[in-house]
Amino acid sequence: MDSLTTASSSTVSRWILASIALCACAAIGSVLNEQWGWFMLLKPLTTILVIGLFVWRSIGLSRRESPIALIALFACLLGDALLLKNDYFVFGLAAFFVAHLCFIVSFISLRGNQLKPKVLGISLLICGAYYSILYPKLGALLVPVAAYLLIIVIMMAQAIGMALNAKGHQGAAEWQIAIGALLFGVSDSVIALNKFLVPFDWSALVVLSLYWLAISLLAFALPTLIAQSKR
């Protein structure tokens, strides 16, 4: 019976993942074709499906990390909605700041502090170099962007540390989370590149595809990590 239940759960997860992929492709297609009405509908819908994936895979898990991670994903949804308008960019940045903070809390609650000095140091050097390039173009956003870069660097470094410390086949979830965190960082760096330095066509394709892949990996893997922590 347990094997049948597991198979059924995996099937539903695959259907949700397929729905996320289809909705993401439709959203990216709508923005590339400047169909803004469809984009304003499909962008939050894609993230809602990602939240649905997390909720489905979290059924039966009662640990406190589940709501913390869920808050992180809802903060992403709020950020998505706010970034639909350029006037709300700072508020969108704040929403994603909260998302990263909640992811960090969730990671630490599950695996403890996994920050490795070398990983954190290299991440900060890369981030600092990128910030120095952005600096002349940031204007009033100097402090908000700096704070955001710092929080995402900590989130990525914590995720990478978890993966490097994982042992055996159970480390798959940690590596999925690490890859998701890295993709999140790359997506955000492309947003900054497009907004502050060199606007380019197809930026939406890069940003959105990496972003939805990132949060899908996090939504898929975090329940596995939570389940392992219950044992």
User: Per-residue pLDDT tens for 2-28?
Assistant: 444 565 678 899 999 999 999 999 999
What is the CA 182 to chain-centroid distance, rounded? 9
Label residues 82-102 b or e (16+ Cβ within 10 Å = b): bbeeeeeeeebbbbbbbbbbb
pLDDT score, position 6: 60
- Give the number of other CB atoms < 10 A from CB of residue 137: 13
> What is the structure's pLDDT at 3?
47
Q: Name the one residue in this structure whose structure tokens are 């508020």.
A: 91
CA dist 187 and 189 (Å) reads: 5
Q: Which amino acid is at 147?
A: A
Say whether 169 sits in a helix, a strand or coil: helix
Distance, CA of 119 to CA of 216 (rounded, Å): 24
Q: On the CB side of 98, how many CA atoms lie within 13 Å of its CA?
A: 17
For the chain, give the longest Cα–Cα distance. Answer: 62
Instruction: Give the per-residue pLDDT at 1.
Output: 38
Residue 80 to residue 64: CA distance in whole angstroms: 25
CB 103 within 8 A of CB 155: yes
Q: For tokens 């979290």, name the residue.
A: 58
- Is residue 30 a contact partner of residue 40, using CB atoms and an 8 Å limit? no
- Tokens 């099937």 -> residue: 11
Q: What pLDDT digit, counting tens, does each position of 94-121 carry?
A: 999 999 999 999 999 988 899 999 999 9
Q: Per residue of the chain (231 residues), what is the pLDDT tens digit?
A: 344 456 567 889 999 999 999 999 999 999 999 999 999 999 999 999 999 999 999 988 766 667 899 999 999 999 999 999 989 999 999 999 999 999 999 999 988 899 999 999 999 999 999 999 999 999 999 999 999 999 999 999 999 999 998 876 567 899 999 999 999 999 999 999 999 998 888 889 999 999 999 999 999 999 998 888 765
Quote the pLDDT of residue 61: 76
pTM: 0.92
Q: What is the pLDDT of residue 62?
A: 65
Q: Which pLDDT score is estimated for 4?
A: 41
**What whole-number distance in Å separates Cα of residue 15 and Cα of residue 13?**
5
CA distance 202 to 204: 5
